[in-house]
């Protein structure tokens, strides 16, 4: 990290005005940015950094998190270079953080009416919060308050590690500020008559829709307040109460947040690469038994249509789940279900492909399938848990049941829209009507009205909806210990810091490791019980 900051200290003045990378050139050429011509491209580079890293997906998601969460089965653990993934996450975060700090510096130097910056400051705070929550949930304590400021002073080249508790509470307060200060009026002006500064067309996440920014901020407040509610209810429950009792706007059906390649002008080449090169993930028995009532190889037991969106049959045309706990009788798995030859020879998956792979089109598309950040269904499941348990608001079982039901329907609708809107997807499952979607929700296996294990149902459906967000399922597992699984919950609670941090920030890293009592996955992050 020190090397990154030293480089930034030397090049800041020359690079910030053109800091975006190749995927977003079309956006960066926009000549109509209002009020200020330099902060728009810089903000756009921060939005671009929300894309998932290639090695993050390969080593952290496919090699590690899918197996831990049991959202899939790892047929063989052949790649143990997890540090390649953690290095990428660390580097990408702190490289982007330096751009965020530069935007903050420019806001601080603003000589106009401070109110004119409210909208752009709020947008930046929201993105910073989301990005930082993701990283701190993977590692725990991390450099934050002094990090990303190497261009300001050499004193910041080796920033101290901050406690996750302090980071969490600061970010939740920042999100509260963002909700309170976003001005939704068209062409707003300050009390002194000054026009609000806008990112204009450089807002490549919500295309300038400030109501969606406000909804995103409040949805994040709910997500992360719930995450820490067992650890610090006195801090978390008032946040939950504020959002729900004041009916603050939240992400709704059709507003799922993500990085959409075709809309944002980039090609998602990384996801297919991560599966094509990794090769070892298959449908596991844990998720299969959440989607099908039996093990019939013809798929006649499937009651949840997401089974046919997430996975497909093996080379013999059969539905076959890889056992989450294999034994000596489990055959070796092979085949070539993720290779590009299937673009022209779709049915050829290799004779040794004995178990159901991920759906080829789900991981093959480069333009239309988003990298998800937060779904409307997740918001419903969060609210369902809150109302069922009475967290910050009075318990209301009826409201919990309604939110759960809506959550399952919204998840089904979203995943159905994925294949409907992906032109390369052939042999897609049938499109279900509204009535058929609600029939799925009322299936005896998942109906919240006929089952007594209501909280387990909520966790299971949130876990399923997060199928392409294994880092979120990982946090849900660590918080609750109650997501679907067959194995005992492993003592894998965080990722170790990347080796580069020990090299580039040696004293602060050593201080942190001493404070923690080590730097191993068995050390719990702050919000875990």
Residue pLDDT, tens place only, 240-270: 999 999 999 999 999 999 999 999 999 999 9
Confidence of residue 28 (pLDDT cuts 50, 70, 90): very low
Q: What's the pLDDT score for residue 80?
A: 80
Q: What's the pLDDT score for residue 409?
A: 97
Full domain range(s) for residue 172 = 1-208+494-529
Q: What's the pLDDT score for residue 77?
A: 79
Residue pair 171/224 in contact by the 8 Å Cβ criterion: yes
Q: What's the pLDDT score for residue 512?
A: 98
Instruction: Collect all residues with Cβ–Cβ distance below 8 Å to 299 and sequence separation of at least 6.
Output: 292, 307, 308, 313, 319
Residue pLDDT, tens place only, 62-82: 999 999 999 999 999 787 899
| Burial class (CB within 10 angstroms; exposed 0-12, middle 13-18, buried 19+) of 405 | buried
Confidence of residue 152 (pLDDT cuts 50, 70, 90): confident
Confidence of residue 21 (pLDDT cuts 50, 70, 90): very low
Confirm whether 162 is domain-assigned: yes
User: Integer distance in angstroms from the first to the last C-alpha of the chain?
Assistant: 31
| Burial class (CB within 10 angstroms; exposed 0-12, middle 13-18, buried 19+) of 201 | middle
Phi then psi for residue 431, to 5 deg, are: -80, 125
Q: What's the pLDDT score for residue 154?
A: 78
Instruction: Note the pTM of the prediction, 2 decimals.
Output: 0.92
Residue pair 342/429 in contact by the 8 Å Cβ criterion: no
Q: What's the pLDDT score for residue 475?
A: 98
Tell me how many domains the chain contains.
1
Nearest CA to 368 out of 262, 256, 259 is that of: 262
Confidence of residue 5 (pLDDT cuts 50, 70, 90): very low
> Helix, strand, coil: what percent of the chain each, to 5?
55, 5, 45
Confidence of residue 150 (pLDDT cuts 50, 70, 90): confident
Instruction: Collect all residues with Cβ–Cβ distance below 8 Å to 434 and sequence separation of at least 6.
Output: none
Confirm whether 146 is domain-assigned: yes
Torsion of CA 259, 261, 266, 270, to 10 degrees: 80
What average pLDDT does range 213-233 have in this prediction? 98
Confirm whether 264 is domain-assigned: no
Confidence of residue 36 (pLDDT cuts 50, 70, 90): very low
What average pLDDT does range 429-442 have in this prediction? 94
Q: Percent of the chain at pLDDT above 90? A: 89
Q: What's the pLDDT score for residue 18?
A: 36
CATH label of the domain that carries residue 76: 1.25.40.390
Confirm whether 131 is domain-assigned: yes
Confidence of residue 485 (pLDDT cuts 50, 70, 90): very high
What average pLDDT does range 407-416 have in this prediction? 98
Q: What's the pLDDT score for residue 4?
A: 45
What average pLDDT does range 134-162 have in this prediction? 92
Confirm whether 184 is domain-assigned: yes
Residue with tokens 């499952």: 429
Q: What's the pLDDT score for residue 17?
A: 36
Mean pLDDT for all residues in the chain: 93
Confidence of residue 301 (pLDDT cuts 50, 70, 90): very high
Confirm whether 294 is domain-assigned: no
Based on C-alpha coordinates, what's the Rg of the chain?
Answer: 23
Can you tell me the distance from the alpha carbon of 516 to that of 526, in angstroms, rounded to the nearest whole number?
11
Question: What are 333's two structure tokens?
Answer: 């798995």
Confirm whether 124 is domain-assigned: yes
Confirm whether 24 is domain-assigned: yes
* Torsion sign, CA atoms 265, 462, 178, 110: negative
């Amino acid at each position: 990290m020190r090397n990154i900051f030293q480089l930034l200290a030397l090049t800041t003045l020359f690079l910030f005005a053109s800091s975006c990378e190749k995927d977003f050139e079309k956006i960066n050429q926009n000549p109509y940015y209002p009020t200020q011509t330099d902060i728009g491209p810089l903000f756009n580079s921060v939005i671009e950094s929300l894309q998932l890293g290639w090695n993050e997906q390969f080593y952290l998601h496919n090699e590690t998190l899918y197996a831990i969460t049991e959202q899939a089965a790892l047929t063989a653990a052949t790649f143990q270079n997890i540090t390649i993934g953690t290095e990428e996450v660390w580097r990408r975060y702190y490289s982007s953080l330096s751009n965020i700090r530069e935007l903050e510096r420019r806001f601080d130097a603003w000589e106009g009416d401070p109110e004119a910056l409210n909208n752009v400051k709020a947008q930046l705070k929201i993105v910073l919060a989301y990005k930082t929550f993701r990283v701190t949930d993977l590692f725990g304590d991390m450099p934050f308050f002094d990090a990303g400021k190497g261009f300001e002073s050499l004193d910041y080249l080796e920033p101290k590690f901050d406690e996750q508790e302090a980071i969490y509470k600061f970010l939740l307060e920042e999100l509260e500020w963002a909700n309170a200060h976003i001005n939704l009026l068209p062409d707003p002006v300050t009390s002194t008559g000054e026009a609000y500064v806008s990112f204009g067309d450089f807002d490549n996440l919500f295309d300038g829709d400030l109501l969606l920014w406000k909804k995103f901020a409040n949805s994040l407040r709910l997500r992360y307040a719930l995450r820490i509610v067992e650890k610090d209810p006195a801090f978390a429950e008032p946040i939950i109460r504020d959002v729900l009792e004041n009916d603050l706007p939240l992400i709704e059906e059709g507003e799922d947040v993500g990085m959409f390649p075709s809309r944002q002008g980039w090609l998602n080449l990384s996801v297919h690469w991560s599966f094509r090169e990794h090769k070892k993930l298959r449908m596991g028995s844990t998720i299969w038994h959440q989607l099908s009532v039996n093990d019939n190889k013809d798929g006649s037991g499937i009651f949840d249509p997401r089974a046919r969106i997430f996975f497909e049959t093996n080379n013999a045309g059969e539905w076959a789940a890889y056992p989450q706990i294999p034994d000596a009788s489990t055959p070796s798995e092979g085949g070539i279900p993720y290779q590009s030859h299937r673009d022209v020879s779709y049915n050829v998956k290799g004779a040794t492909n004995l178990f159901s792979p991920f759906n080829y089109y789900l991981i093959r598309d480069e333009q239309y399938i988003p990298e998800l950040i937060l779904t409307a269904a997740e918001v419903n499941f969060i609210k369902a848990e809150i109302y069922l348990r009475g967290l910050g608001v009075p318990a209301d079982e009826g409201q919990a049941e309604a939110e759960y039901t809506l959550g399952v329907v919204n998840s089904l609708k979203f995943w159905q829209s994925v294949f409907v809107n992906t032109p390369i997807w052939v042999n897609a499952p049938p499109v279900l009507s509204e009535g058929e979607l609600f029939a799925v929700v009322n299936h005896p296996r998942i109906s919240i009205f006929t089952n007594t294990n209501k909280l387990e149902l909520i966790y299971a459906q949130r876990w399923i909806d997060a199928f392409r967000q294994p880092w979120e399922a990982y946090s849900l597992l660590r918080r609750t210990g109650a997501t679907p699984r067959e194995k005992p919950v492993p003592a894998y609670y965080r990722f170790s810091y990347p080796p580069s941090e020990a090299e580039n920030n040696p004293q602060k890293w050593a201080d942190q490791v001493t404070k923690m009592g080590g730097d191993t996955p068995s050390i719990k992050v702050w919000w875990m019980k």
